[in-house]
Structure 1
Amino acid sequence: MTIFPLRQGARALALAALLGASLGLGLTGCSSVPARPAGWSAPQPLVQPSPFAGVHGLAIDAQGRLLAGSVVGNTMWEVDRRTGQARVFIDAPEGQADDIAVGPRGELAWTNYLMGILRYREREGMPLQVLAKDLPGLNSLDFDRRNGKLYASQVFLGDALWEIDRSGQTPPRLIRKDLGGFNGFEVGPDGMLYGPLWFKGQVVKIDPQSGALTVIADGFQIPAAANLDGKGNLWVVDTRTGELVKVALDSGKKTVVAQLEPSLDNLAIAPDGTIYVSNMANNAVDAVDPINGARRRLTGSPVAVPAGLRIDGRTLWVADVFGFREVDTVTGKVSDVFRMQREPELEYPFAVGVSPSRFALASWFTGTVQIVDRASRRTVHTIHGLKAPYDALPMNDGSVVYTELGTGSVVHAAGNDFAQRGLLASGLQGPLQLALDAAGRFYVSEAGGRVLRLVPGGEPVTVATGLAMPEGLAFTPWGSLVVAETAARRLTEIDPSTGSRRTVAENLPIGMAGGPGMPPPYVPTGVAVGEDGSIYYSADRNNGIYRIRPAR
């Protein structure tokens, strides 16, 4: 990284001054600035909460229970097939499940995708076991119901198919590698493995003994999962198109039975033939009639995992991990900008920055900052190879400023492909979220418990210390700073000139812990403040978005 003189940082700060009002972060220059309120009303949901935090693998166990896995939420859930009510079935972090499989004697196995672990339970009430580990991207799995053999695949963070020793005593046996993403598969009554190749647009069957692969059908955009119905058909979900497709095994003929929303992830077929389909971008599980394609939504939400927030007028922009959304703060209506897989360039956004002409979407998980043209909604450029960027703000001149947790720095990137990079601050204790005051000065929250103001050509100034994992922060119209203290599950208002503070709200559903190997901030709690002084925050413990109105 090229380190420019700090005067380059000062230039970025000056540019930020032109941008502050458009971000809704410093509105003290408005013609009518609301007075500091005496207090705050109780939080009210703008977008109702929902379970899961992204829903993936589905399975129906021997008791007829519908089980649903969540990776980001680190939990396995049970969904009532009649009412849609959901409850935690196996809690975090062990319950993290990208896929779930039920064995011939009621055994349960699931993949901890982010941990690279395959977990197993012989029967209900028995202790959990680890049958395989150190397999990054461990994704799908299933049992051979004839003999109890267990198979699992790696996708995205690896690309291989394995046979797993049920005793856990011997290492997994490699069946085949470099398949093209053998995602949600199922073992057929003939012992063959039937499933999709994510990156090749095909549905195939694989002989687990020899690794021989036969294409059954192709021409899919992104097939995510496939299940057999016992009637000579393979049912496939295409995550890009949102289609539920029936494929005849004897001919490969494809029939679209239901048109659902994109971002489909998995499916399970009940004994009565009902097909349950998961949608990661809407925390949704739908029940589909295989005859006429009629859909009944069991559970879902217009958002999935709301994280970073920005506000511009009456529009709240939401980095939603499996999507990028806008919320009308007057009506509460949620609209898609991007959805995972429908827009292939979307990189699991955890934070969003807004300028009059651009969005910047930051993802610590993929190490990227995605720059999007606001008018066309097209990606201008994606900066790759960053070390856990937790927030990003686009500047008026086309440059961008972002925090980088992995290097402890705040970086200004400009020029062609944003290759010219200079430090605005370094040596920070876990820089997370950014805010601008009315004068265009940058503020940053640190995981170490501080809020800092960046000073052109000098050391950062400590505005507040002793905070409990401060994440999202935003300025009020009257000039104070609202910070989400996620470890204390509260919002705090801070006077940046004196450091004095008062509690806005506490006992909030924020501060979800990450699983093993995940950074402590995990899903950032976003904070935004509207022109009327209303505070908005994202709740990672229940996936809702809340508003707190000033009490006057």
Structure 2
Amino acid sequence: MNATYPSRFDAAGSRPVSSAPGKARRLNPPNRLWGSNGVAFGPDSRLYVAEFLAGRISAVDPATGDVEVIVPMDGPVASPDDLAFGADGSMYIADLAPGRVWRRTPRGDYSLVSDQVIMPNGITCVGDRLFVNEMRPGGRLMELFPDGGDPKVLTEGLALGNAMQLGPDGHLYYPHMMTGQVWRIPPDGGVPEVVAEDVHEPVAVRFDQGGVLHVLSRGVEGIVTRIDLHGTGSRTLVTSGLVGLDNAAFDAENRMFVSSYASGGITELHADGRTREIVPRGLDGPFGLTVDLGGTVYAADHYRLASPAPTDEGEPVTVSAASEEGGITSRDLRPFAHGVAHADGLVHVTSQYGDVHTYDPDRGTTRERSSGLERPMGITVGPDGSLVVAEAGGGRVVAIDGSDTVTVLADGLDHPVDVAFDTEGRCYVSDDRLGAVLRLDGGEAVVVAEGLDAPQGLVVRDDELCTVEVGHRRLRAISLTTGESRIVAEGLPVGPPPGSRSTGAGRAGAGRAGAGSVLAVPDPPLPFAGLALAPDGSLLVSGNGEGSVWQVEA
């Protein structure tokens, strides 16, 4: 019996997952906020949250945690990353990837303010005036004019701008994410000046009701640096443990509410570092999945490696993980993580921007194995210990050996998305565009199963080849001996939510992250419903339509 959970995929929580003859259960609840980025209190005292990955904006009641979608996905706004309210109650939205700034009136009407901003992010209103900055090297800070007129550039040379605000001294304050600085400039223009240096990974600046400057860190520790600008300039650091902070807002009672680009949710953060969950954090995907021999699940979750902890839904399960962040443990901030595999105590991760890394959970270290691949997705460890990767963008399957040499195992494929080996060491590849699963024989691709609807995640269990058919939202098992197939589970929350065109917003390929860095142009994740085999023989499916991991016994 499955509990009822509202989600992006099914707001009523009434869409069942069926499996026969086994059972299906979630390991973690769906994500309520698909990543949480810019936040601002609206005229109705609710906290409005920009959800970049979902392409929507929701309003949160701080008292109850209730969430209402205000700007739905697949509307005119593609990838909202920050927002602000004008004096008349209009909402202004920084639409990051397309490079647009929108106005939404209190009646719900939309108008385009500007399409002349490159990667607009930080946005703020000063009375009837509107200011925005660009999240790019050499970016600009501009005043925009909603009623018409060309943008006015106040300054250039920003080293990745982000969330900004007017300070009590009448200056606009903004971070330089690349250099660890906070700057300010008069809203009428002038010479910008550095306010603070050596600030820990600054992503947003916010003033509380008493005029104290708070600088949020985007790192794994969840650091907030409080700077007293009125007196000595002294600093106080608070470590919240909230991974990937993105933005903050203070209510009339001076309570601080923070968002997380890495895990979503809304949390009240107290001055002493204590936290109170308003909207639970969750998974932004997940995409690739793997399980170690101890039962710990690793999910590639776009901005990080994460582990879902089992809920109390249904019967006990044998997979395990420490319970943090509402049932989710953040293992490592890993930009644009997409595919994941585990072997011999190491976790191997692909990035949709072309990188492959090996992460050591015990030491907390990461080693780059390859770069420059074209949208690598699924990954597995071959019989010889090499990493075998489905290079979707290049139409290839490649192997990376212990010396990090890349060898092409097959090319000329349409869109390979996952790879798996059987007990005899034969390699299988799922191709979601071709609608088939292939076997590699001497570099040639031989069709094993065809007529499938977008097969993605792939594993071999005993004599059966198992794959997630995203188009039909089902899990299929195919006998490698007879070719007969059966449906293991149906109604899975995989792929785009019903009625939407995509799993995210924006455009792919707009930027690239360096090794171990989160400083990159963010893109929505490429669609990928991963599949993993647990030590007890059950199958784990990434419910990337709602932010959950499902365990299927069959």
Q: TM-score, normalised by structure 1?
A: 0.83
Q: Residue in 1 aligned with 2:495?
A: 511
Shift of 1:63: 0.8
Shift of 1:298: 0.6
* SS of 2:262 mapped into structure 1: helix
Is residue 306 from structure 1 mapped to residue 286 from structure 2 by the alignment? yes
Q: 1:395 to 1:501 in 2, by over 3 A?
A: closer
Q: Are residues 1:369 and 2:362 paired?
A: no
**One of 164, 175, 186 as aligned partner of 1:196:** 175
Do the aligned partners of residues 131 and 382 (structure 1) sit closer, same or farther apart at CA in structure 2, a change above 3 Å counting?
Answer: farther
Confirm whether residue 99 of structure 1 aligns to residue 82 of structure 2: yes
Indicate yes or no: 2:210 matched with 1:227. Answer: no
Instruction: Write the mapping of 1:36-435 to structure 2, written as runs, cut at 5 A.
Output: 39-93=20-74, 94=77, 96-126=79-109, 128-133=110-115, 135-145=117-127, 148-156=128-136, 159-167=139-147, 169-188=148-167, 191-210=170-189, 212-240=191-219, 241-251=221-231, 252-256=233-237, 259-290=240-271, 293-301=273-281, 303-313=283-293, 314-327=295-308, 330=318, 332-334=320-322, 336=329, 338-340=331-333, 346-364=334-352, 366-373=353-360, 375-395=362-382, 399-414=386-401, 418=404, 420-435=405-420
TM-aligned CA deviation for residue 42 of structure 1 = 4.2
Q: Match for 1:471 among 456, 462, 470?
A: 456
| 1:490 equivalent in structure 2 | 474
C-alpha displacement at 1:66, in angstroms?
A: 0.8
Alpha-carbon spacing, 1:185–1:376, altered in 2? closer, same or farther (3 Å): same
1:430-480 deviations in Å (ceiling 9; x for gaps) = 11111121222221111214333343424211122222222111122x321
Do residues 522 (structure 1) and 526 (structure 2) align?
Answer: yes
| Contact 2:440–2:446 under 8 Å retained in 1 | yes
CA gap of 1:136–1:423, structure 2 versus 1, over 3 A, is farther
Distance 1:307 1:211 in 2: 47
Give the match's secondary structure for 1:47.
coil
1:461-500 per-position Cα deviation (integer Å, ceiling 9, x unaligned): 1122222222111122x32122111122222222234443
Return closer, same or farther for 1:405/1:165 CA change in 2, 3 Å cut-off: farther
Cα 1:137/1:516, change in 2 over 3 Å? closer
Structure 1's 474 and 170: CA in aligned 2 closer, same or farther, altered over 3 A?
A: farther
Moved more, 481-490 or 132-141: 132-141
CA RMSD of aligned residues (A): 2.7
Q: Distance in 2 between matches of 1:521 and 1:294?
A: 32
Q: 1:459 to 1:258 in 2, by over 3 A?
A: closer
After superposing the two structures, state which structure 1 stretch, 404-413 or 262-271, moved more: 404-413
Between 210-219 and 63-72, report the one with greater CA deviation: 210-219
Note the C-alpha offset of 1:214.
1.9
Query: Per the alignment, do residues 129 and 487 of structure 1 end up closer, same or farther by CA in structure 2, a change over 3 Å counting?
Result: farther
Return closer, same or farther for 1:42/1:393 CA change in 2, 3 Å cut-off: closer
Moved more, 235-244 or 459-468: 235-244
Is the aligned partner of 1:452 residue 2:437? yes
AA of the residue aligned to 1:515: A
User: CA shift at 1:510, angstroms?
Assistant: 1.2
Shift of 1:135: 4.3
Deviations 1:397-446 (A, max 9, x none): 66432222222111223475x3x433212221211111121222221111
Contact 2:209/2:252 (<8 A) preserved: no
Structure 2, unaligned stretches of length 5 or more? Answer: 1-18, 310-316, 324-328, 497-501, 510-523
The Cα of 1:171 is off from its aligned counterpart by: 4.5
Question: Structure 2 vs 1, CA of residues 326 and 190 (structure 1 numbering), >3 Å: closer, same or farther?
Answer: closer
Instruction: Indicate if the aligned counterparts of 1:78 and 1:86 stay in contact, CA closer than 8 A.
Output: yes
Per the alignment, residue 520 of structure 2 pairs with none
Letter in 1 for 2:280: G
- Report what 1:541 is aligned to: 545
CA contact (8 A) 2:218 2:246 kept: yes
- 1:362/1:132 CA distance change after superposition, 3 Å: farther
CA apart distance, 1:294: 4.0
Corresponding residue pairs, total: 499
Please give the alpha-carbon distance, in whole angstroms, between the structure 1 residues aligned to 2:340 and 2:451.
26
C-alpha distance in structure 2 between counterparts of 1:115 and 1:157, whole Å: 17
TM-superposed CA distance for 1:170, in Å, is: 4.3
Q: Which amino acid aligns with 1:544?
A: S
Q: Distance in 2 between matches of 1:198 and 1:426?
A: 40
Q: Deviations over 1:489-519 (max 9, x none)?
A: 2222222344432222222211022335349
- In the TM superposition, what is the alpha-carbon distance from 1:71 to its structure 2 partner? 1.5
